[in-house]
Amino acid sequence: MTDRQDMTQLHLTADQSVQFWEDGRTLLGGSPYRVLRLSTQAAALVGGWLAGAPVAPVTAHRLLAARLVRAGIAHPVHRSARLTAQDVTLVVPVRDQPDGLAGLAAAVADTAKLLLVDDGSKLPIPGAAVRHEHSRGPAAARNSGWRKAGTELVAFLDADVTPEPGWLEPLLRHFEDPDVVAVAPRVRSTPGRSLLARYEQTRSPLDLGPVGGVVRPGSRVSYLPSAALVLRTSALRELGGFDERMRFGEDVDLIWRLAAGTGLVRYEPAAVVRHEPRPDWRAWAKQRFGYGTSAAPLALRHGRAVAPVKVSFWSAAAWAALALGRPATGVAIAAGTAALLPRKLAPFGVPARESLQLAARGHLGAGRLLGDAVTRSWWPVAVPLLAATRAGRPLLAAAFARHAVDWYRDRPLVDLPRWTAARIADDLAYGAGVWWGALRHRTVAPLLPDLSDWPGRDGVQRPAD
């Protein structure tokens, strides 16, 4: 949000994580989680905005609202959009799958232009604006398409994606903020009767869930898939588009390069498209394996952003002590570090009880994240090591038990035994890809945890008054 924007029609809504303390002058929440300290005057403004008042077109107000949005404390609500579908060029890369293109074309008929890019199909795709004689991969296909666009925005849709009615309007509203460079809808798996289709309805890696927000490494939504994505053409031109050397993960790489700049990337689940699941389990496992192989090149480009787990050093130490058969030491570490948080947050009006609960949730959440890493990215080493020790076996069982917890919470259309088997296979395929990619690129970077979130680091931010 900058001085270029008329914000009279901008409203804000609080993120679901936010808690207010000390008469609204202390805000806890956002993504990543943080403490935001406001002056009395700023707190009054923010309270009014979150109660429904519009953000006035005053420079100081705009700056404060922009900081709330960038912190993930608040989300913008634009009532209308200047841009329309006529400002969008739709790029659809396709290879040997023309069957669904007629339905896709009908669903997006109001866009300014539909560009089909034939990426080396055996039989040329009728109506393709660009044809690669040999397949050059999805990154090259998308680059060939957007470079022919003459509109302000470019939308990418995969050939097996079907937009739901009205999908584009919520995305266009976000571009009322000139700082926004990319927005993506929710990509839900197309319903089906097979076990695979029912599993993907709950566990598709393209479905980033029902809660929107700013997209960047370490946040609640840390990446966006290019299966459905709208970007400013100028932003693509500035970065040179997708990295054509990457067969997988090229969309994550682009989003992280955008997020590293001054622009904003957002996820908007109010807009929905449907994506066809893989046709069989072999293709499904190959997809998951391929996603895993992208971890190494992403780690070489973006460092700790692709770490298999990000937790505080002390949380990791507490859980490691448990795994080594030292439960008393683990409890002491967890309790000792938790006791420090109330002292840190007390000056900001946060009650000691809330601080202790926050610390406890942090340690327990770290255990969940470590369990994910043990059975996913680290499984070739971690699972045998834990299974071989008396102290490690209960922790390994707890790591696998999270699948049952997820089943109970999400209520998928799959029974628990087959759900658990599919989840384990999902993790095994992805983890195998991570290790294959690491060996291929001769790096351990995608296997290393990020323990940089030390207790005591200054997570307090003070916006302008």
pLDDT of 340 > 80? The answer is: yes
Q: Per the structure block, which two tokens stand in for 390?
A: 């008396």
**Span 64-74, pLDDT tens digits:** 999 999 999 99
pLDDT exceeding 70 applies to what percent of the chain?
A: 94
Confidence of residue 104 (pLDDT cuts 50, 70, 90): confident
Q: For residue 348, what pLDDT is reported? A: 86
Backbone angles phi, psi at 344, to 5 degrees: -75, -40
The length of the chain in residues reads 465
Confidence of residue 454 (pLDDT cuts 50, 70, 90): low
Query: Among candidates 10, 7, 132, 125, which has minimal Cα distance to 59?
Result: 7
Cα separations (Å) of 34 from 27, 316, 348, 365?
8, 20, 12, 16
Higher pLDDT, 52 or 455: 52
**Span 178-202, pLDDT tens digits:** 999 999 999 999 999 999 999 999 9
Write the single-letter amino acid at 67.
R
Q: Rounded mean pLDDT of 382-387?
A: 96
pLDDT of 298 > 70? The answer is: yes
Q: Rounded mean pLDDT of 235-250?
A: 95
Number of neighbours of residue 4 by Cβ within 10 angstroms = 9
Q: For residue 4, what pLDDT is reported? A: 46
pLDDT of 463 > 60? The answer is: no
- Tell me which range, 216-220, 313-317, 426-430, is most confidently predicted by mean pLDDT: 426-430
Answer yes or no: are the C-beta atoms of 68 and 46 closer than 8 Å. Answer: yes
Burial status of residue 440 (CB atoms within 10 A of its CB: 0-12, 13-18, 19 or more): exposed
CB proximity list for 364: less than 8 A, separation 6 or greater: none
Half-sphere exposure of 435 (CA within 13 A, CB side): 13
The chain-wide mean pLDDT, for the chain, equals: 91
Query: Among candidates 69, 63, 85, which has minimal Cα distance to 29?
Result: 69
Q: For residue 110, what pLDDT is reported? A: 73
C-alpha span between 277 and 203 (Å, rounded): 11
Q: For residue 199, what pLDDT is reported? A: 98
Confidence of residue 465 (pLDDT cuts 50, 70, 90): low
> In DSSP terms, which residues pair with 162 in a beta bridge?
274
203: left (phi over 0), alpha (psi -120 to 50) or beta: alpha
C-alpha span between 158 and 439 (Å, rounded): 30
Q: For residue 91, what pLDDT is reported? A: 96
Give helix 281-293 / helix 195-203 axis angle, nearest 10°: 30
**Span 429-449, pLDDT tens digits:** 999 999 999 999 999 999 999
**What DSSP string runs through 375-389?**
HTTSHHHHHHHHHTS
Distance between terminal CA atoms of the chain?
Answer: 17
Answer yes or no: are the C-beta atoms of 379 and 423 closer than 8 Å. Answer: no
Q: For residue 7, what pLDDT is reported? A: 43
Confidence of residue 3 (pLDDT cuts 50, 70, 90): very low
Fold of 85-277: Spore Coat Polysaccharide Biosynthesis Protein SpsA; Chain A (3.90.550)
Answer yes or no: are the C-beta atoms of 38 and 463 closer than 8 Å. Answer: yes
pLDDT of 464 > 80? The answer is: no
Query: Among candidates 49, 41, 42, 46, which has minimal Cα distance to 11?
Result: 49
Q: For residue 382, what pLDDT is reported? A: 96
Query: Among candidates 21, 46, 22, 34, which has minimal Cα distance to 71?
Result: 34
Higher pLDDT, 103 or 278: 278
- Of 7-11, 191-195, 342-346, the range with the lowest mean pLDDT is 7-11
Q: For residue 111, what pLDDT is reported? A: 73
- Of 9-18, 139-148, 188-197, 293-302, the range with the lowest mean pLDDT is 9-18
Q: For residue 113, what pLDDT is reported? A: 86
Strands 460-461 and 180-189: unpaired
**Span 400-418, pLDDT tens digits:** 999 999 999 999 999 999 9
